[in-house]
Structure 1
Amino acid sequence: MKRRTTTTLDDVARAAGVSPATVSRCINRPASVREEKRERILNTIERLGYVPNGSARALASKKTRMIGAIMPSLDNMLFGGPLEAFQKEVGSAGYTVAVACSEYDPQQERIHIRNFLESRVDGLLLVGAQRDPDIYRQLEQQGVPYVLTWISSDTRKEHCVGFDNAAAAEQLVDYLVTLGHRHFAMISGFIEHNDRAKARYFGVRNALERHGLSLPPDQLLHRPFEPDAGRDAFHLLMSAENPPTCILCGSEPHAYGALFEARDMNVDVPGEVSVTGFDDMWLASQISPPLTTVRTPRGRMGRQAAHHLLAQLRGERLVAPRPIETTLVVRKSTAPPRPTPLLQRVDTDHFQARTRVKSGS
């Protein structure tokens, strides 16, 4: 069988009527080539079936044009939107994204980081800032740019593209206190290795303390980020002798499970208990009752993370991004608490939300 002749970059250049250097720029930095010329080159590449030699290109440039992205979960639509936005932006600059999943396990994340570094990725997209300092030292020693998402932290703030989880949780509690709630419970993710969940918990606790309230230990339940876990936690909380008037959920899968269990238990939401979420995923506005929640700017975060990482790859000076604003979205899963003689009056006249409050259907 006759071996097929491999199309070369020079073949593409001749067929497209441009120089080999222009073809190379079109492949590696598409935005640097005029649209009309870029379309002609890309059409020629497709017609001739040209496939760039990635290994040769990496050897010549010492760049793989690959970015590693490590997500805590791939079983949760929460991470898909920002990852897609990130991929579109870096893709337009000629980079390909390789994705791995840590399953919220720091050891698994460490393995993925090591594998990506061995593969000579040009940069890394990570979620959160809490990890072994040795990992950061290794990244800096090897000169690998990285961006940290879903968090705005004083630790490595020049690498963080995200939002203030604690402030968003505080705003939510402040709003619920103005409704009259004094007896709170919280369904949280595990916080030992999750700085986002930890920040949300501390935001809730700090806001309650400002109002002279507290979150008793038996009213804080740590559960996996799954609807079934939210169901079980809701059932436990609402089966108590003195159930809460408001259950704060640190993630929306928790909140969805809580609402499903409320229906099965014939518990009226928000008549008997208010329920809140965090993130404003698509289902939040469709579930019954529609969920009061914090809207996180996921698409914008993905785009800004890409721009921040690309700036590092271009060798630009690193400037700490400003936290992205979140939005409190008030829907029908929250209302003033049921009448009870245990409620104590507190002064809420001076309540001011730090970020805007939006009413949704």
Structure 2
Amino acid sequence: MTITIKDIAKVANVSTATVSRVLNGAGGYNEETKKKILQMAEELGYRRNEMARSLVKKSSNLIGIIMPNVSTIFYADIVNGMEKVAQCHGFSVILSHAGEKGNRLIDCLKMLEERKVDGLVLVSIPLTEEQIQAIESLSIPYVLLSTDTQNKQIPFIKVDDFEASYAATKYLIDHGHRKIGLAGVDYADRVAGIPRIEGYKKALMDHGLSISANYIKAGDYSFSAGKEALYAFHAEKAGITAVFCVSDEVALGVISAAFDLGIKIPEELSVIGYDNTRVAEMAVPPLTTIEQPFQLMGEKGCLKVIEAIQQKVEVKTERMPFRLVERASVINRME
């Protein structure tokens, strides 16, 4: 049997209006009445109907999450972080996939608008001006995760890809490598691709090393892109001793192709990845990689949106720290 506020009012010998005020913290009652009603509610096993409550408040307690329809591993950690924070604050999340490069984003926004979400988090989607206007038209708090726009007024949370790429390349240089490849990068990706290319190039330039177009292999951050990159390096006899991979999946593809080609990792080729996803430590050998704090990014993004909803504060941009995780896929040629 479902217990209602009428049942509590009857047992506590007060009006339903008083029960409602106590349960919603609205005031207008003394401490003794509050204690009695809360005790009766607990003893009777009352459970608040959040759906009905949201209709009264015109609030759904829902956070919408939109991300690309891709298989990249790191999304799980981002979503876990968001769900953890949402549940702690009495919210739920709705996950929606915007398709390749966000081509279904407008449809996702329409669906989330129908569900009356209170806030929005967009993950790794490069936005057009039209899409930005559609997001703004919802008039709800939102934040971008692991992406940004050229409009600096739009809040985002992400790692500095240029600095992280520079750090990865410098690490290889500091370990004695002079011919360093870059694998799996998307030249058209303004958010992550171009900064990682530029960080790689700047590190080479700062250390007096030449930049060769043949040392950069394009791709889509995938396992297959890594395999294709190493096959190309091998066929061209590039002579690289190390390769910076723009994702852990690309790095796994490089390691797989190295096995096919009889190239020993790291004795003959050092490999460094990017992301520090769960598979990085499962690789053979375990993968040295740049870590992005994906779960923390998810937690931060969700918390910023919830604070904006509840406290009417502005969502602000935040740069997240990265770190280089050393494992066994890079050899020091200086020793």
Normalized against structure 1, the TM-score is what? 0.77
Corresponding residue for 2:20? 20
Corresponding residue for 2:45? 44
For residues 194-213 of structure 1, the C-alpha deviation after alignment (integer angstroms, 9 at most, x for no partner) is 61233222221222232333
- Equivalence map 1:62-141=2 (5 Å): 62-73=58-69, 75-128=71-124, 130-141=126-137
Kindly tell me the number of residue pairs found equivalent between the two proteins: 321
- For the pair 1:179 / 2:180, whether they are aligned, the reply is no
* Structure 1 residues 83 and 94: alpha-carbon distance in aligned structure 2, compared to 1, 3 A threshold: same
Corresponding residue for 2:220? 224
Structure 1: tracts of 5 or more residues without a match: 26-33, 340-361
What is the aligned counterpart of 2:261 among 260, 265, 269?
A: 265
- Equivalence map 1:1-361=2 (5 Å): 8-11=4-7, 19-24=19-24, 41=42, 44-45=45-46, 52=49, 54=51, 56-73=52-69, 75-128=71-124, 130-151=126-147, 155-156=151-152, 159-193=155-189, 195-318=191-314, 320-337=316-333
| Distance in 1 between residues matched to 2:90 and 2:200, nearest whole Å | 42
How large is the RMSD of aligned CA atoms in angstroms? 3.3
| Distance in 1 between residues matched to 2:221 and 2:172, nearest whole Å | 23
* Structure 1 residues 131 and 226: alpha-carbon distance in aligned structure 2, compared to 1, 3 A threshold: same
| Distance in 2 between residues matched to 1:77 and 1:12, nearest whole Å | 49
SS in 2 for 1:188: strand
Corresponding residue for 1:343? none
SS in 1 for 2:63: strand
| Distance in 1 between residues matched to 2:232 and 2:107, nearest whole Å | 37
| Distance in 2 between residues matched to 1:338 and 1:246, nearest whole Å | 14
Matched to 1:246, the amino acid is A
For residues 322-351 of structure 1, the C-alpha deviation after alignment (integer angstroms, 9 at most, x for no partner) is 422111112221124599xxxxxxxxxxxx
SS in 2 for 1:161: strand
* Structure 1 residues 168 and 245: alpha-carbon distance in aligned structure 2, compared to 1, 3 A threshold: same
* Structure 1 residues 11 and 222: alpha-carbon distance in aligned structure 2, compared to 1, 3 A threshold: farther
SS in 2 for 1:115: helix
SS in 2 for 1:77: coil
* Structure 1 residues 24 and 16: alpha-carbon distance in aligned structure 2, compared to 1, 3 A threshold: farther
Q: Residue 273 of structure 1: CA displacement?
A: 1.4
| Distance in 2 between residues matched to 1:150 and 1:43, nearest whole Å | 47
Q: Contact 1:245–1:273 (CA<8 Å) still a contact in 2?
A: yes
| Distance in 2 between residues matched to 1:205 and 1:276, nearest whole Å | 16
Matched to 2:195, the amino acid is A
| Distance in 2 between residues matched to 1:16 and 1:260, nearest whole Å | 70
SS in 1 for 2:298: helix
Normalized against structure 2, the TM-score is what? 0.82
* Structure 1 residues 188 and 146: alpha-carbon distance in aligned structure 2, compared to 1, 3 A threshold: same
Q: Contact 2:101–2:125 (CA<8 Å) still a contact in 1?
A: no
| Distance in 2 between residues matched to 1:155 and 1:125, nearest whole Å | 17
SS in 2 for 1:162: strand
Deviates further, 304-313 or 59-68:
59-68
| Distance in 2 between residues matched to 1:235 and 1:253, nearest whole Å | 16
| Distance in 2 between residues matched to 1:16 and 1:293, nearest whole Å | 62
| Distance in 2 between residues matched to 1:185 and 1:13, nearest whole Å | 73
Q: Residue 109 of structure 1: CA displacement?
A: 2.5
* Structure 1 residues 81 and 176: alpha-carbon distance in aligned structure 2, compared to 1, 3 A threshold: same
* Structure 1 residues 245 and 11: alpha-carbon distance in aligned structure 2, compared to 1, 3 A threshold: farther
Matched to 1:19, the amino acid is V
Q: Residue 275 of structure 1: CA displacement?
A: 0.9
| Distance in 1 between residues matched to 2:3 and 2:292, nearest whole Å | 47
